[in-house]
Chain A
Amino acid sequence: MLNAQKLGLVFFPAFDWAISPTHPEREERLLYTRDQIVEEGLLDMPAIREYKPKIANLQDLERVHVGVPDITSLITNAHLVSAGGAIAAADAVMKKEVQRAFALVRPPGHHAMRIVHGTRGFCTINMEAIMVEYLRRTYGINKVAIVDTDVHHGDGTQDIFYHDPDTLFISFHQDGRTLYPGTGFTNEMGSPNALGTTVNIPLPPGTTDRGLHEVLDHLIMPILGDFKPDIIINSAGQDNHYSDPLANMAITAQGYARLADTLKADIAVLEGGYSIEDALPYINVGIVLAMAGMDYSKVIEPNIADCPSQTSSVTHYIKDVIKERQDMWGRKEKLQREAIMKHGEFWQTERSIYYDDVGINEQQKERVRLCPHCSGYVTIETKARSSLHYKTAYIGMIPQKACPVCLKAAYDVVHAAKKQGNYQHYMVQNKQKDRLERL
């Protein structure tokens, strides 16, 4: 990497895209960030190289998502460019043109799950997941760690990789009892074949830089050290900031920059962050400087005096969370053996998922085969209802490293379901063949 620059920056503010005119996710969101980055002269720095996003294609999306009835009717061009931005960042790193990359793109994606009926939590497709599967398909990368630093639980990313033992998903977030989407508790650890590779760290409202760095140094970094991923991805949400209007945490731009410095993610992809005027310009500049290996000590918000300090009860609570999670990480093999024993051949779950954007209620029944030879095929039965629609589908999913038995069984069960004819759509997401088939 003799000539590689430190940081590749894909900046795509989507100045002509909004969910709706007054929605937090609107045209203006990265305007002040653009102003600050340009005014600083960051793009002129020899350590930083700006990249243009690509346009992701249907195959990139369907490698991860199954849209009902199809993904193209649920997204806009902005989604393809945002996912393409993450892909451009990944390419720059993999081609060794840069050491690290930051896709500062919108719209965000970490609430988008495998099955997509619409938009939830401002997300329709999952940029990181699309990028991760693109990396696997294009560059043969195996072990991936995703660290989600958004204030909201990255439930979409968790869902997509819940059965995948090769993807470590770590999310710290404001406790789900106090914030959307209301998930991300410590007992959500991955399905039995991948038990332990989902690590949730719910934090109490009012957590400051101090608490965050305690979690990072004593929990996240040691787990990453154990897992030894080929690549580290950061879902870089910026709504833990003390001025964010949608959450109640107390992290500063310095806290975020030090986080980026410690984590040393290979690729970061922007997620949320809605204090667009008072926080984003400073946090983004801090992260860019940290990832580029430059001095970030002078990035300080003008209204820093408004940042509360951490109460002792919060400090105690965080210490307990760290301890509990350390303990669970240490016992994960044992927990896994027990879970497999308990569930027999199939692990299954039923849940309802709410799409806040258009008011869709989805009922899902998910089943994964606890195969001793691979991570097992998955079936999902989905029924989504809103005032306008009723959409159903039966979907089989074949992992890339599926064994022949699982490969065949997945097709068999979807064909059998089709014969019964209780659903509108029947699909198989075949990751081995890298295509989504409609039966």
Chain B
Amino acid sequence: MYQSIRNSMEQSAVGFIPGKRGDNMFLGLDVGGTFTDGVVVADGKVVSMVKTPTTKENLLQCILTVVDKMVEDTGSKAFERIALSTTIVTNAIVEGNIDQVGLCIMPGPGMNLKDILPVAPYILSGYIDHRGREMAQPNKEEVLSACRHFSSCDVFVVSGKFAVRNPCFESAVTDWIQEQASPMHISAGGKVSGSLNFLRRTNSAYYNGAVWRHFNAFATAVEEALKMRGIYSPVFVLKADGGTLPLSVARNYPVEAIFTGPAASTIGIMGMNGDAAVSGISLDIGGTTTDIALWQKGRPVLAKEGAAVAGHRTGVQGFRLKSVGIGGDSLVFWENHVLKVGPMRHGPAMAAGGPKPTVTDAMVAAGFIDFGDRALAVKAMMLLALQGQSPEAMASQVIDKAVDGICQAIADLLDEQAAEPLYHVEEIVCETKFVLENIIGVGGGAAGLVPLVAKKLGISYTLPENGKVANAFGAAVARPTIAITLRADTAEGHYTVPELGIKNRLPRGNFSLQNTYELAEKHLAELAQRNSISVGETQIVQSEEFNMVRGFTTVGKIMTCRLQVKPGVLQYGEEELC
């Protein structure tokens, strides 16, 4: 059932990854909706590619099929690591395969969240204000009563407003629940996401808890199955922001594994594109959809808003992406005398034996690509053509329509980026418009459509070799990342790191933004070590400094710094994998 391509080292160079030579082999797996792709990358080159249908009812099966084939291909079991991009969490949520969660919140004063969260919460008293001050203590009796209320739940979630400014109440309530109910797992909002946004944190923590058991069962099955085959490589899971987490860490933060598909392809493109620091867009043109990502100076742009699950925004960070329902297998049809392309798919192209005309048929009939049976593709166009219209004219009309649809989605994405609110005068006055320089195209439909889209936009394009397996390639080479948020309030004399549940006193004396960075570096290094990740290069994602004035004197500073291990492409030799 699977096809395998053994490539020679020379022929498949896909972007240069500097570093030591040797047989470091990174295995990447993309478990997609229809197919599971796998690649093994050694010295920056794809040495094995495998594609197999995804076994939806038992994901382990297709994963092992791919891994087994790759062991056979490469003749080795000594992979440096195995990284998975999987839809398991997304699917579990979509299919409702989630656990009942005892959701306990400390909302304090503000918006009424009662009917806004995914499930009805138990509301506890006690709250922290925006400065991290403890305004009202939580009540233990209430927590015990919440435990009784949720007596059938094995998983609890605790989330408090402004817990990222002071995690003490979340910790205290977590301890009380542990004592009283000893559930299998408790997710705390501040630890799942360190950023402001109580609503998103609570949603994140809720879904984290709700898929916890399911994900852990999967993780255990993967680890055991690999062990049974004598493969002892560490397993990593891809995140939506293109970083990877060791499976052992992901067990506590499974929600991080949602929406990893587009992230995988984006990181894959980064790996294939090498160091080209161009700005533009990437198009991952698949069978049913085209995923568009925005690039600035060779790096994908992160989205400000968190990923949404079943209509609920979470604190999970991802890339700024747009998905449009136009792909190679998109159905082409007439509706009230208007030609339509997608978003539905009725099987493969007629050129490949499918039932109805598709975009791919138009590409084949117009001679842009060589695929399947050209005569069938021409027939598909004849089925669509109006009286007196040649199949070639019909094909070009279909292609125009598909290209227009993709260009419209690109324009929408650029509009969204341009509408992003800015909070400084300087940013608004000196704002530079995003300039498209290049398109990078990957995915099955890229070869035919990307040149046409580029022509219409009047810019250049690149089609990386092996672009068809960009997702699996991305999983293989994505660097492990981790982030923390450190906020120092010198007037209050303390700092917090919510991801670590820390609230500590600041050292005496002057404390500057530079000191904040240094302190953040230290805590990030600790967290990385605990998670068996090498720190390497870090980057400041966000930094802010405000003077606090009381009356007419400055009484202190509030400084915030979000620091992360730079996401990107794994450099050989830099990783000390566990």
> A-side interface residues toward B, CB under 8 Å?
11-17, 21-22, 26-28, 31-32, 34-36, 38-42, 44-45, 50-53, 55, 76-78, 80-81, 245, 277, 281-282, 285, 289, 294-295, 297-302
Contact = CB atoms under 8 A, between A and B. Distances in A.
A28 B549 contact: yes
B509 interface: no
Given A55-B429, A277-B131, A302-B129, A285 B110 contact: yes
A77 B130 contact: no
A271 B3 CA distance: 67
Contacts of B110: 36, 39-40, 285, 298-299
B541 to A, nearest CB: 15
20 contacts: A11-B421, A15-B423, A15-B424, A26-B549, A27-B546, A31-B558, A35-B196, A39-B198, A40-B111, A40-B198, A40-B199, A44-B305, A77-B426, A77-B429, A78-B425, A81-B429, A245-B551, A277-B131, A299-B110, A302-B135
Contacts of A41: 111, 197-200, 313
B549 A22 contact: yes
Contacts of B428: 12, 52-53, 55, 77, 81
B120 to A, nearest CB: 16
A52 B420 contact: yes
* Ranked 7 nearest A-B pairs via Cβ: A41-B199, A295-B112, A35-B130, A22-B552, A302-B135, A16-B424, A300-B109
B461 interface: no
B317 to A, nearest CB: 14
B213 interface: no
Contacts of A81: 425, 428-429
B177 to A, nearest CB: 23
Contacts of A21: 547, 549, 554
A40 B426 CA distance: 27
Nearest to A33: B130
Nearest to B422: A52
B553 interface: yes
Contacts of B129: 302
A39 B162 contact: yes
B419 interface: yes
Q: How large is the interface on B (under 10, 10 to 19, 20 to 34, 35 or more residues)?
A: 35 or more
B161 interface: yes
A124 B110 CA distance: 34
Contacts of B426: 16, 77
B549 A39 contact: no
B548 interface: yes
Contacts of A32: 130-131
B379 to A, nearest CB: 42
A13 B428 CA distance: 12
Interface in B198-214: 198-200
Among A15, A245, A297, the most chain B Cβ lie within 10 Å of the Cβ of A15
Given A31-B558, A302-B135, A38 B111 contact: no
A302 B109 contact: yes
A41 B426 CA distance: 26
B162 to A, nearest CB: 6
B138 to A, nearest CB: 15
Contacts, number: 117
Contacts of B544: 15
Describe B's contact surface by its main secondary structure. loop
Contacts of A297: 112
Among B107, B111, B197, B544, the most chain A Cβ lie within 10 Å of the Cβ of B111
Nearest to B430: A77
A42 B112 CA distance: 11
B423 A282 contact: no
A36 B109 CA distance: 10
Contacts of A52: 419-422, 428
Contacts of B420: 52
B313 A44 contact: yes
Nearest to B202: A41
Contacts of A11: 421, 423
Contacts of A298: 107, 109-112
Nearest to B554: A22
A16 B425 contact: yes
B111 A27 contact: no
A38 B421 contact: no
A277 B429 CA distance: 28
Interface string B125-145: 000011100011000000000
A50 B421 contact: yes
Given A21-B547, A45-B111, 10 more contacts: A16-B424, A35-B196, A36-B110, A39-B162, A39-B197, A41-B199, A42-B111, A289-B111, A295-B112, A302-B109
Nearest to B306: A44
Nearest to B421: A52
Interface string B153-175: 00000000110000000000000
A218 B176 CA distance: 52
Contact of A77 (B419, B425, B549, B551): B425
Contacts of B421: 11-12, 50-52
Interface in B90-130: 107, 109-112, 116, 129-130
A14 B548 contact: no
Contact of B130 (A26, A39, A294, A300): A39
Given A16-B424, A17-B425, A285-B110, A38 B548 contact: no
A285 B199 CA distance: 14
A277 B555 CA distance: 14
A21 B553 CA distance: 9
A66 B364 CA distance: 67
B203 to A, nearest CB: 9
A45 to B, nearest CB: 8
B115 to A, nearest CB: 9
B109 A44 contact: no
A12 B162 CA distance: 22
Contacts of A36: 110, 130
Nearest to B308: A44
Contact of A281 (B107, B130, B305, B549): B130
A298 B424 CA distance: 31
A101 B107 CA distance: 26
Contacts of A44: 197, 199-200, 305, 313
B107 to A, nearest CB: 8
Interface string B547-573: 111011110001000000000000000
B424 A14 contact: yes
Contacts of B549: 21-22, 26, 28
Contacts of B547: 21, 26-28
A38 B485 CA distance: 16
A259 B129 CA distance: 25
B136 to A, nearest CB: 8
Contacts of B424: 14-16
A38 B131 CA distance: 14
B325 to A, nearest CB: 20
B297 to A, nearest CB: 23
A300 B429 CA distance: 37
A77 B420 CA distance: 19
Contacts of A22: 549, 552-554
Contacts of A80: 429
